[in-house]
Every structure is written in C-alpha cells, then in structure tokens.
Chain A
Amino acid sequence: MSKEEGEKLRIKKEEELKVVGMHCATCVSTVSKSIKSVKGVKDANVNLASGIARVEIENARLKDIVEAIKKAGYDVVTQKISFKVDINPEDARKIEEKVEEIKGVIKASVNPTNGYVIVEFNPYSITSDELAEEIYKKTGHKVTKVKSEVTNKSEVKEMLERLIIAWIFTIPTLYFQYSGLLFIAFLTSIPVQFYAGLRYHLGAYRALKNKTANMDTLVSLSTNVAWFYSVYALIVHQQVFFDVASLLISFILIGKTLEAYLKERISVQITSLKEVKATLADGRIVKASELKVGDEIIVKSGEVIPADGIVDEGSGEVNESIVNGESLPVKKKKGDAVIGGSTLISGYLKVYVTRAGERTYISQVVEAVNQAQTARLPIQNLVDKVASIFTPLIIGISAIVFVVWRFILGYSTEESLLFSVATLASACPCPFGLATPLAVLTSVNRLAKKGIIVRNGESLETLKKVDTFIFDKTGTITEGKISVRAEGDKDAISYASALEKMSNHTVAKAISSISNGSFEVKDFTEFPGSGVYGKVNGHDVIVGKREFVLQNCEGEGKGDVLVCVDGKVSASFYLEDKIREDAVKVIEHLKRMGKRIIIATGDTSENAEKVGKELGVEVIKGLSADEKAELVKSEVNKGRIVAFIGDGVNDAIALKEANVGIAISSGTDIAKYAGDIIIPKVGDLLTLLEYSKLTVRKIKENLAWAFGYNSILVPIAAGILYPTLYLPPEYAALAMSMDSVAVSLWSLVKI
C-alpha cells in the first residue's frame, strides 16, 4: 500500500459530542444507533456516565450527526457565536461552505447584507478563538467576534474614506492627462488604483484563493487591465488610460458607498436598548445595559423604558407597539408590568427592574430577528448557481468582445481594449446576492414592529406554499377561559377543586376556582395530558379525562372530566370554552383560500366537537402532545405542506414537526416559545400570510431588477449599438454600481 493510499484510509476526524437526556442503557444504544445510521460515520462510542459520544467520521457532516441525535429524542450541547466579516453578497454561500468544513462546526449562516456569520459549533472540539483563526485560514477573511449587534457603521465610514481619496486624486489625474503631463497623471492615479481600489484587489485575490470569481474580480480585472496597459503605453509612447482606470474606481465607489448606507438603514430598524440611558432612583444616570434586576429606575414622559419591570410608583400612558403592534397607548399604574423598549408617552413612572440586559424582551427580539436575517431561502440556491457562473461568463464575453473588435472588425488595440474593459465593468453579480436577503430583512424588521417575531426567515417563503393548517384549540381557536359546570357529590367536587389548585393546566385552573375550602393535599402527582392524583384530607382522589379516570376507578360517569374518590367515580365536570372572534375571521379567510383546516386538541369534551361544527372544520380530539406531533408528521409525510399554530409551550413538538411552526405568545419571554414564528394572537396570522406573499413577490422583483439591469448594460458596454449608443468603461462602472443601489432602494419601498 502506498503512503497516499494509507492516508486515504485513515480516519478523517474524531468528534466528541456532549449528549443530553440519556437516562439508561437503552438510551445509550438508541443514541449510538442513531449516530451510526448517518452515512460516513465509521464508529460511535457513547458513554452514559459522562454523556459524551465519541464519533469517528470518515466523510459525514457534523450537522447530520447532531440532527440524527436530536431526531432520536436527545439533545446535543452546542454553542453559537456571531462574527462580523467583510464579504461580497454573492460570496455568502461559498463562505458558509468553507466554514462548515472546519472541524467542530455544525452550521454556518452568513447574512450578506450586514456581514454577520452565525456559527453553531461543538464547544468540545473547538474554541471560539480557534474558530476565528480557522475561518481566516480557510477563507482569507479576518473576522471579529461580536455578540448580537445589528448595526455596522464602519463599512459606510470606510467606503466614504476611500471615495473621498479616490476623487481627490482622480480630478488631477484627468487634468494632467488631458494637459499631456502623462507622467504626473501616472503618479496621481497610483493612490486611486492601489488605495481606493484596494478592497477590490484584495477581494479578487481572496476569490482566486477560494477558486471562485466575483464582483471584485470584475472590478479588479477591468481597472488593472486599463492601468497596467497605460503604464506600458506610457513607456512605448502610445495612448494612455489612467483616466479610465481612476474614474472606474471612483464611480464604483459612489454606488457602493450608497449601497452600504442603504443596507445599514435596512438593518438598523429594530430598536435596541444598547444606546438608551437609564435614570436610577438615586439620580445616577447609567447605560441600560448596566442595569441589574432589583434596580429602581425613573422614567419621565417621552422617554424609552430601559428594562422590563413592574411599576412601583406613579402612572402614565405607554406605547407598547413593539410587543403587540398596537399603536394605542396603554395605561400603566402601580403593580403593572412594563416592557423595555416601549415608550412612556405621558406621565411619570418609578419602575422596579425585573429583567435587564440581554434577558429583556426587546433584546430577545433583536437576537431572534438577527438570526432570521441570516436565513437561506430555497430560492437562493438558484440565485447562487447563476452568481457562480456569472463572473466567469462575463470574463469570457469580455475576451470575445476584444477579439471581435480587434481582429474581426479591425479596430485599434486601444479601442478594442476599451470595449473589453467596459464589458467587465458593466456587469455585476452583487444584486443577485442581495435580492433575497434584503427582501427578507425588510419583511422581518417590519413584522417585528407589528409584534410578530420571525425566527426563521425561510418560513416566510414556505408559508406561501402551505396547504394544510393545523390549529391547537384551547387558547388558540378558543379564548382559553374555560367555564365549568359541576355535577355529583359535593365533597368530591371540593376535593377535586383543592387537588387541581396544584396544577397549571388551563382546565385545572377552571376547576380549582369552584371551591375555596381548606384541605390537606399530599402525594400530588400529575400525568400530563391525562389527569392528576393526590391524597386530599386522607382520601385517594383522581381527577382527569374520562378515559383515564375510568381505567383507574370503578363506576361510570358522563362529563368531560371525572372525579374518583377512594376508587369510585363520584362527580363530573362539563367544560365550555368560547371561540375567539379573530379565530373566526382567520378560519373564514383560509377557507376562502381553499386551504385544508384541522383543529387538533387534547380536549375530549363535547365542546371540542361543538367548536368544530360552529367553524365548519374537521376536529381531531383527545390527542396528547406526542399525538399532535404524530398527526403533523403524518400529514407532512403525505406530501402536504403543513403549518401548525398553537401555544408555544404545550405544543413544542408539533411546532417543530411542521413545515412552519407558528407559536402564539401572550407573554414576553420569547426564548421559551418554540416555533419558527411567534405571533401575539391568532388574528395576526392574516398579516403574516400577507407578508409571506409580499416577500416572495419582492424577491422576484429584486431578481428581475438584477437580471434586467445586467442584460441591458452588458451588450451596450460591449458596443453592440456603437456608434449610436456607446458606454465608456467609467460610465459602465457607474451604471453597474447603481444596480445594487436600485435593488436596495426597491427593498426599502413599502411592501
């Protein structure tokens, strides 16, 4: 066996993953099997005591292994980090691929609009510092570690600096060249070519290193062809083009600076508390980020509330549109909760801080929105393909243009070169890379202002294709305020009421409000989705769904919930829950759209059927959380595209199984809600559907801009209409850079 063959047979890498949730030997075998089922895994060794799975990988992706473990019902400890990196939009996919090749990296997503790379990695095999170093080695891009910032002011500043230098030296270059002082024109063109244009040359070099080509390649190639040819022409006393090279860079920089400014404007739409100042009760003024739980702060009219808290003193009207999208102010008085990021319109409040810094609601929103902005929409795959062949194609066309003008049409080398350079300078793959992310970014930001949090940008595109909507009932379709009617033995009813006080379930809460007597409750045990058991005043009491109680008790009973005391059915409860007004509107709208609608509920009561009849939709009742997830899964397996809409806490598994999981949150801790999108109330589903449609339309419009612009400019620059219409290289460059500006501006236009 040769040394090379030996190298090939060697194990490529070994990863140690920390698996969470293993209890016994069965778990070890399940986890082990799930890892080994991934193609390319050579061996897996799982240790129950340490929770570490040591995996020998030959040619498998870590992402697939982690997914396999999660699918088996366990979790893996991973870490997420955001990096800031200076990239071209069309390179985003390439960078993602390169980063995902690094050992320990599970997933990388790049947001081309603001240059953020979010990397999920295995902290047991690589540290964040090592990761930054590896990214530099692999891609040639220096990265800076950031946490969760949305803004980036430095790019505009840097672009502006280069733009100013470019024009300061371009104007004298033009003057000296046209005055015949060619050597001085050569000298003044140097800073433009090698300082102002440096980012394009470096970008082209990096692209070459990554065996790809991008916009930088086109700019660098066109300006270098013009500039180096001019140096040669200066020596042999022929016509020079220092003006062309300098103007080309200066014009491109105008467009790119404008584009950077626009991208920044789109990114900085969500309020962040980072900049807000807070006044403490003792008069000290601190940054909002320095506040701690327990601090007391003073908020005066017109000020932004710097943290989440409870009003301790005073009263006032607060605009809470960041939470629910409602612009009508809400009255707040002592004891009411206030949300950081909302504005006190009038009045005075002394607030006791309950959540500060990154735990505040608005910080969670910024974090979620930031993540959604890095989404890769399926449509982007097509765009990537176009972008990857675009630059080599243009370089080829440019070479053909030179050959045609010089050797077929018989023009001079100088003239032919100008057409060739103009072709290079007129084409830009940038807008292809910007079209999708800018549209998603704008929608995600606008929805956040309406209180709708999109955590997974992809879901905006998927939502448009959904054909089956599965709704949870209690709290989603109905108001969740259950009214209860009791029948049977009075003592049994009181015992049941006392026992249910220990549970948090919506039905339990309704039953617990029936009686106020004082009882001793012991051995309380809850069987999620079925019922509860406990000893009340020495009696064995079971309260739960009819089937559950009848399985464990003697006797018979009608009603939705039965009570068993000392082994005998002694009382029953009948439940009723009102349908929400906005739910009726949503269901009617979806019906008009011809969508399939199912209500999946854990409720077994007759009320569940009544709700279905009233709305005219199919109801599947008596489902546990797992069964709801199974229902979603089976619909997905049938090839349907399913959205599940339900309470973010109880329906976590079903929300995950659906193509789009939409959680309804009434609280402010968005971190605890599962799902791709979080909406404040079911009625907001209509707004969401509208935005989904508009986002996809916006993406298509942006792509049409990008495609149309290039397909008109390139032939003109190649001289197809010469001499009627002619585009000199510098104007071709200006026109090209305006393409991205057009796409950015179009993304900002209200959708």
Chain B
Amino acid sequence: MMIDPVCGMEVDENSKYKTMYKGKVYYFCSPHCMKAFQKDPEKYLKEGPKGMPNE
C-alpha cells in the first residue's frame, strides 16, 4: 500500500490517479488530491499530508 501525499489515505498502486515528480511516482485517492499535489508538490513533500483539499 502507498500513502496519498495530500490527504494521507492509503492508496492502492493500481489507482488511476498518479503522477511523476522528480523521477518518482506518487499515487492518489482522487483527482482532487492529484491536482492539489501537481499544483505545489514541494509543499506536500516537505510538510506532509494536509488532509482532503476543499474544493
């Protein structure tokens, strides 16, 4: 199991929401989390999961 770097939820590696950043693959629970990460990846990688993005 992987951890969604945005909300902290456990995610499966088969999740269709994924992105690559600096050569590493990150998995997400939803398109909202993925978009939030793509906007500012450094914030989540430095500060850890922030919970569900409010959209």
Contact = CB atoms under 8 A, between A and B. Distances in A.
Contacts of A533: 20, 25
A30 B31 CA distance: 12
B4 to A, nearest CB: 9
26 contacts: A23-B29, A24-B7, A24-B29, A24-B52, A25-B52, A26-B33, A26-B52, A26-B53, A30-B32, A30-B55, A73-B31, A525-B18, A525-B25, A527-B18, A527-B20, A533-B20, A533-B25, A540-B23, A542-B23, A548-B20, A551-B20, A551-B21, A552-B21, A552-B23, A553-B23, A567-B23
A27 interface: yes
B3 interface: no
B13 to A, nearest CB: 9
A26 B32 contact: yes
Interface of A: 23-27, 30, 73, 525, 527, 530, 533, 540, 542, 548, 551-553, 564, 567
Interface in B13-55: 18-23, 25, 29-33, 52-53, 55
A542 B21 CA distance: 12
Contacts of A530: 20
A24 B27 CA distance: 14
A347 B23 CA distance: 58
A525 B55 CA distance: 28
B30 A552 contact: no
Contact of A542 (B9, B20, B29, B53): B20
A564 B24 CA distance: 13
Nearest to A33: B55
A60 to B, nearest CB: 24
Contact of A527 (B7, B19, B22, B29): B19
Interface of B: 7, 9, 18-23, 25, 29-33, 52-53, 55
Contacts of B33: 24, 26
A24 B9 contact: yes
Given A26-B52, A552-B20, A564-B23, 7 more contacts: A24-B7, A26-B30, A26-B32, A527-B18, A527-B19, A533-B20, A551-B21
A567 B53 CA distance: 31
A552 B32 contact: no
A23 B20 contact: no
B10 to A, nearest CB: 11
| 4 interchain residue pairs of minimum CB distance | A552-B23, A26-B32, A24-B29, A23-B30
Nearest to B22: A552
A36 to B, nearest CB: 15
B30 A27 contact: yes
A73 B30 CA distance: 12
Contacts of A23: 29-30
A159 B6 CA distance: 69
A283 B33 CA distance: 61
Contacts of B53: 26
Nearest to B9: A24
A551 B22 CA distance: 6
Contacts of B52: 24-26
A540 B23 CA distance: 9
Contacts of B19: 527
A281 to B, nearest CB: 42
Contacts of A27: 30
A567 B29 CA distance: 27
A24 B20 contact: no
Contacts of B29: 23-24
A672 to B, nearest CB: 18
B49 to A, nearest CB: 13
A173 B22 CA distance: 95
A743 B41 CA distance: 65
Interface centre among B9, B20, B21 (most CB of A within 10 A): B20
Contacts of B7: 24
Contacts of A551: 20-22
A26 B55 contact: yes
Contacts of B32: 26, 30
B31 to A, nearest CB: 8
Nearest to A22: B30
A481 to B, nearest CB: 29
B52 to A, nearest CB: 5
A682 to B, nearest CB: 30
A618 B4 CA distance: 40
A73 B55 CA distance: 14
A570 to B, nearest CB: 14
A422 B21 CA distance: 82
Nearest to A567: B23
Nearest to A523: B25
A234 B52 CA distance: 86
Contacts of A552: 20-23
A27 B53 CA distance: 11
A20 to B, nearest CB: 14
A507 B22 CA distance: 23
